[in-house]
Structure 1
């Protein structure tokens, strides 16, 4: 039985040698498609081996609900880390302590991701944007920030930057969803597959309506002209056999990733050559180098 597309999308939504530039990966290192992954996962082993953290954990009220945030380091601009769908702050345990040697770094847990409070569902990516804005204001963190988003967190980061351009100094999109992803994949699926997928789109553990979120992202304003690095996995995990030719979906994904890098003048694409989707845990040094590239342009 084919895996629902939305489960694969959830993988998106939920270093080593890296090639930097505006060109896509070579045929020998294809851009990664959307692999399936556990929607609730513990901290990866590589993250557990990261340097001891000195992060300050806080619970911040954002209007009758509390969100959990952990910050460490000092220096501006503050780097804010946005995890994938159902992912929590532990996503960044291989990244945050090392970045904190240079700047202040904050990772947080969205609503419905413990230990943050629950929120009414369904939610959309616009709700995520509103919560992050409220969190930064209530916590006293200084803007503009460098926003780093993984998977669905990348979609949320794009939306935040488009909605609040004055609050964003730079963007790093790690294996990010593309606003057109849902429509472009569905164009190659059967009505039965789309029906199955649509049900999951509205029933995932974080309570995010993914279909509505993609539509919101398609209608969003352009990204601000800030330093942008797009980090793309270099290893494909394949596609369900029932979907047909995997090259079709590989091509869609490759085009989406390259398009993200061209949405801001001077944007670049970095290939995490040894990673599948989970670049923050598989090649954290590639993520760190991407963030430092943005910081270098700002400083």
Structure 2
């Protein structure tokens, strides 16, 4: 492999790796369009008419962009999608449309993403959780919900569920950021590293420290139990992180370790691999992702 090709591959791996934890600026071959309006039923916690299509709601003093499609299907939980860092709800539009064939599905832009307001300053998981609670109040009311999150969105969903077992009845984590991502990266790539690996370390630790559009400050922590809710963890099979010179294989090992750690969320959890997919599983292996959501929603209904 030529030096130029090696640098290109490493840069691509760097881009995807950092995008996976929230950095803006990486191009993706797909583009999202806003979900089409659909019909829905069921009242919100405030007694307002069901949200249909894409509109902005108030959560506290902030404006939050929300999209809902599909019809309420009996006692099936509302599925709420959480996009990855650097993305917004339009990225998951096609995936949402697919899932809407089976029931009501909603997505939203977190503060700092898409058409929602910017955050007032640095955020922690509690801050982001308050916005999620406000969204659930509006789109699910007192009813159950299944959270399906990609990358940073999966991390947020997994941190949120243990404290909200009254309403979160299932989780699907799509190549979610590890619960020990900060420590893993710090240990894996030394501060003395140079080249693509050094850039990856510096940029990603910056993202973890709050240098991301949502200003979320990542903190490592133990995986807490959300009871026996169905949890499906899906990791990438195409090992793009392995392209980072010298440290790539170790980064893949750390990522897999993190995916396994998320199994501690529930006594009813399973880990699988989307063999032909990189980080964006819901785009590169949409059937794998959709089947997982359908399975969890079905179990949560039973």
Task: Please indicate, yes or no, whether the TM-score normalized by the shorter chain is above 0.5.
Answer: yes
Q: Which residue does the alignment assign to 2:42? A: none
Deviation by residue 1:215-243 (Cα, 9 ceiling, x = unmatched): 3xx1564233200111111101134645x
Residue 237 of structure 1 pairs with residue 240 of structure 2: yes
1:205-263 deviation per Cα after TM superposition (whole angstroms, max 9, x unaligned): 41324xx4223xx1564233200111111101134645x24222221212221232354
- Listed as ranges, the matches of 1:35-184 within 5 Å are 39=25, 44-45=30-31, 54=38, 56-73=53-70, 74-75=72-73, 76-139=76-139, 141-184=141-184
Distance 1:86 1:108 in 2: 13
After superposition, the C-alpha distances for 1:256-283 in whole angstroms (9 at most, x for unaligned) are: 2123235422311222121100111111
Partner of 1:266: 268
With the length of structure 2 as denominator, give the TM-score of the two structures.
0.78
CA-based RMSD of the aligned residues comes to: 3.0
Q: How far, CA to CA, are the matches of 2:28 and 2:253 in structure 1?
A: 31
8 Å contact from structure 1 (residues 11, 277) kept in 2: no
Aligned mate of 2:219, from 214, 220, 223: 214
What secondary structure does 1:101 align onto?
A: helix
The match for 1:26 is none
Out of 262-271 and 112-121, give the one that drifted further.
Answer: 262-271
TM-score (norm 1): 0.79
Distance change in 2, residues 1:262/1:119 (3 Å): closer
Q: Partner residue of 1:286? A: 288
Which residue is 1:13 aligned to?
21
* 1:149/1:173 contact within 8 Å kept: yes
Check whether the contact 2:223–2:261 (CA below 8 A) recurs between aligned residues.
Answer: no
**Unaligned stretches of 5+ residues in structure 2:** 1-6, 39-51, 193-197
**Structure 1: unaligned runs, 5 residues or longer:** 15-36
CA distance 1:100–1:135, shift in 2 (3 Å): same
- Structure 1: distance between partners of 2:20 and 2:109: 17
Q: Conserved in 2, the CA contact under 8 Å of 1:126 and 1:159? A: no
Q: Once the 2 structures are TM-superposed, how far is the Cα of residue 201 of structure 1 from its aligned partner?
A: 2.9
- Residue 165 of structure 1 aligns to a residue whose secondary structure is coil
> How has the CA–CA distance of structure 1 residues 184 and 59 changed in structure 2, closer, same or farther, with 3 Å as cutoff?
same
Answer 1 or 2: higher relative contact order, Cα 8 Å, separation at least 6. 1
**Within 2, Cα distance between the matches of 1:137 and 1:51?**
21
Q: How many residues align?
A: 270
